[in-house]
Amino acid sequence: MTLPAIVTSARTLGYYTRLQEVTANNLANVSSDAYKGDRITAQSLAGDNSPTAVHTLDLRQGTLRETGRGLDVGLEGDGFLVVRTAQGERLTRGGSLEISRDGFLVDRHGDLLLGEDGPLHVAGKELVLEADGTVLVDGARAGRLRFETVANPTALLKEGEGRFRATAATIGAAELHVRQRALEEANVSPLLGTVDLIMIQRAYAANTEALRTMDGVLGTVTGDIGRV
């Protein structure tokens, strides 16, 4: 049993450990509105049979769930809403909105939701959010939601709470639409995630046993050589 085989098996265990962590985290967020799952794929370098974990974001559309709440907006298509936080502008698909004491649209954390011309003042009796993002208050136009995206998804960094930081310049998201009184659900399947987790755990156990066997064989061979 060669040392490279043991190294490959050990690296494979590291890959399955990372895969299990990501899969478990996805499952923990199945009830988080607009949650975007993480993906881990295996990539092997030239001359190396051991897998390397490559992380990507799963930005597929989640199912829209009707809520009946006028301040809920579900996003359809590629793109994000923009909020102003203490750390700067952030992208989000979280559509559970509120109205601040000052009459501005804010997200559930109290941060200003931005329109094309800045914060949106919506004090009034009736708020309507049209599919193209136009905001009407008591029948009068109050602005339009700002839709942004990035050219390359690798430029998005998760910051938790459904927010993303763009590491490259954002561009307008022309194909994005909103549905009032709805929220986007997580794009993670609890059934598939559970099945994946079971398969990962089995693969991890099999590789652990293989590594233990190889280690034992190597120890025996080393001992025999020492007695020669």
Residue 72's pLDDT band, with cuts at 50, 70 and 90, is very high
pLDDT at position 174: 86
Span 56-75, mean pLDDT?
97
Q: Please provide the distance, in angstroms rounded to a whole number, between the alpha carbons at the two ends of the chain.
A: 19
Residue 48 has pLDDT above 90, yes or no: no
Length of the chain: 228
Residue 91 has pLDDT above 80, yes or no: yes
pLDDT at position 210: 67
User: What distance lies between CA 169 and its chain's CA centroid?
Assistant: 19
Residue 39's pLDDT band, with cuts at 50, 70 and 90, is very high
pLDDT at position 220: 52
pLDDT in tens, 123-168: 999 999 999 999 999 999 999 999 999 999 999 999 989 999 999 9
Q: What average pLDDT does the chain have?
A: 88
Residue 228's pLDDT band, with cuts at 50, 70 and 90, is very low
pLDDT at position 224: 47
- Largest pairwise CA distance in the chain: 94
Residue 226 has pLDDT above 50, yes or no: no
Least-confidence region, from 15-19, 130-134, 135-139, 177-181: 15-19
CA distance linking residue 227 with residue 102, whole number of Å:
84
pLDDT at position 225: 45
Beta carbons of 199 and 26 less than 8 angstroms apart: no
Residue 221's pLDDT band, with cuts at 50, 70 and 90, is very low
CA distance linking residue 19 with residue 12, whole number of Å:
10
pLDDT at position 227: 46
Residue ranges per domain, the chain?
Answer: 3-59+188-227, 64-182
Quick one: tokens of 87?
Answer: 């750390």
Which amino acid is present at 227? R
Residue 66 has pLDDT above 90, yes or no: yes
Beta carbons of 179 and 64 less than 8 angstroms apart: yes
Span 103-124, mean pLDDT?
97
pLDDT at position 12: 81
Q: CB within 8 A of 146, min separation 6: which ones?
A: 81, 82, 114, 115, 116, 133
Quick one: tokens of 141?
Answer: 């136009």
Alpha helices by DSSP H, listed for the chain, are 3-28, 190-227
Cross-strand pairs, 99: 105
